[in-house]
Amino acid sequence: MKKISLLLVAILIASCTNEPKDYVTLSGKITDKSSDSVVVRTRTFSKTIAVNEDGTFSDTLKIEAGVFNFYDGNESTNIFLKNGFDLNITLDTKEFDESISFSGTGAESNTFLAKKAIVSEKLLDQDFDRFNKEELNATLDNTQTELTTFINNNKVGVDTMVVNSSLTEVEGMVKSYRDYFGKTIDLRAKFYGKPSPSFDDYMNIDGSKTSLSDLKGKFVYVDVWATWCGPCKAEIPSLKKVEEAYHGKNIAFVSMSIDDDRSHGGSWEKAEENWRAMVADKELKGIQIFAPKGWQSEFVTGFEIRGIPRFILIGPDGNIIDASAPRPSSESLIKLFDEHSI
């Protein structure tokens, strides 16, 4: 009887030991770390994990199963986490996506996500800025087919949630690209060759007034931006390089701030103050002007601008060449300049 009792105790202990963990153990090592911490987050969850001097990190997380963003500085990737995982991540920041690897419980699903990200990046490395509708649709149809095929051919051993979310993500991504670039194509066609909406006597950073008519005879590349706009600020380094490369050529670079009272606590004075401060802090070049009515300024409404940054190229005759020109960070911009012998 005593032996049976001891056996039952042993079985109970073993069953308790084998109960699935209600948390994730996440650890790893980062070579050439970009920051002192990594962040794991979704829209409803965020956890910052300290990274040691040698690049190692480790923590436990209680989460709802799903795909999370994993950030190291400015770089990020998607990872799949589920309570019970004991996942180890290694990566080199110099080749973030290409070097990331996973081991431990949950590695299969995360390796799948990493490979899918590389395939997706290659397929989407296209000159969408210069496509017509037919080229856009053909390219996106092919992208959807290839990504769907990749997912279905590599789903063995991958969590069903990851497979299903990947298929849904492909559909949503392709639709988003089709909608965004389709509208851009339509916008270009609508405005091409027509006289540009004007800006008249907009305040310049140096205290003078600048009008579009002052620049007639030159190509004009307009950057419509605001101090609070992250993607706008991300283009600043590239814009400065392009301006420097084309210095002395027949083109004027105009940066038009649409900072307004609504985005600065109800104060136009604060909007202007913040604009001036950022122009000085970032040492912005070119012609820096302040749109007097923000989003409601005539130039902005004339070009139907509803999102920023927006870049516009106007010809020496004052007619529109591209109402939604490539960003400074895009190689397409230099191709566009070359097409017009700038």
> Tell me, what CATH number does 303's domain have?
3.40.30.10
Say whether both 221 and 329 belong to one domain: yes
> Does 299 fall in a domain?
yes
> Does 327 fall in a domain?
yes
E strand or H helix at 256, and its extent? Answer: strand 251-257
**What is the domain range of residue 157?**
124-191
> Does 112 fall in a domain?
no
Q: Which amino acid is at 97?
A: D
Helix (H, G, I), strand (E, B) or coil at 276: helix
Helix (H, G, I), strand (E, B) or coil at 134: helix
Q: Are 69 and 40 in contact (CB under 8 A)?
A: yes
E strand or H helix at 74, and its extent? Answer: none
**The two structure tokens encoding residue 64:** 């709802």
Which pLDDT does position 18 carry in this prediction? 57
Which pLDDT does position 75 carry in this prediction? 87
> Does 7 fall in a domain?
no
Say whether both 211 and 84 belong to one domain: no
Domain end, chosen from 142, 168, 191, is at: 191
Say whether both 53 and 145 belong to one domain: no
Q: Residue 70, exposed/middle/buried by CB under 10 A (0-12, 13-18, 19+)?
A: buried
Say whether both 34 and 68 belong to one domain: yes
Spatial strand order of the sheet with 56-61 comes to 56-61, 24-31, 86-92, 101-105
> Does 110 fall in a domain?
no
Say whether both 237 and 334 belong to one domain: yes
- Say how far apart CA 308 and CA 34 lie, in whole Å: 28
Say whether both 261 and 176 belong to one domain: no
Say whether both 94 and 136 belong to one domain: no
> Does 109 fall in a domain?
no
Say whether both 63 and 156 belong to one domain: no
Say whether both 206 and 131 belong to one domain: no
E strand or H helix at 28, and its extent? Answer: strand 24-31
> Does 197 fall in a domain?
no
Say whether both 180 and 214 belong to one domain: no
**The two structure tokens encoding residue 176:** 């988003």
Residues of the chain with pLDDT under 70: 1-20
- Say how far apart CA 295 and CA 313 lie, in whole Å: 19
| Closest alpha carbon to 259 in 305, 297, 283, 291 | 291
Which pLDDT does position 255 carry in this prediction? 98
> Does 43 fall in a domain?
yes
Say whether both 167 and 249 belong to one domain: no
Question: What is the tens place of the pLDDT at every residue in 9-63?
Answer: 444 454 455 566 899 999 999 999 888 999 999 999 999 999 999 999 999 999 9
Give the CA angle between residues 304, 308, 312 to the nearest 5°: 65
Domain end, chosen from 144, 168, 191, is at: 191
Question: What is the tens place of the pLDDT at every residue in 186-195?
Answer: 999 999 999 9
Looking at the structure of the chain, the number of domains it has is 3
Instruction: Give how far the C-alpha of residue 268 lies from the chain's centroid of Cα atoms, to the nearest Å.
Output: 29
Show Cβ contacts of residue 163 under 8 Å, excluding neighbours closer than 6 positions.
151, 155
CATH code where residue 22 lies: 2.60.40.1120
Say whether both 308 and 334 belong to one domain: yes
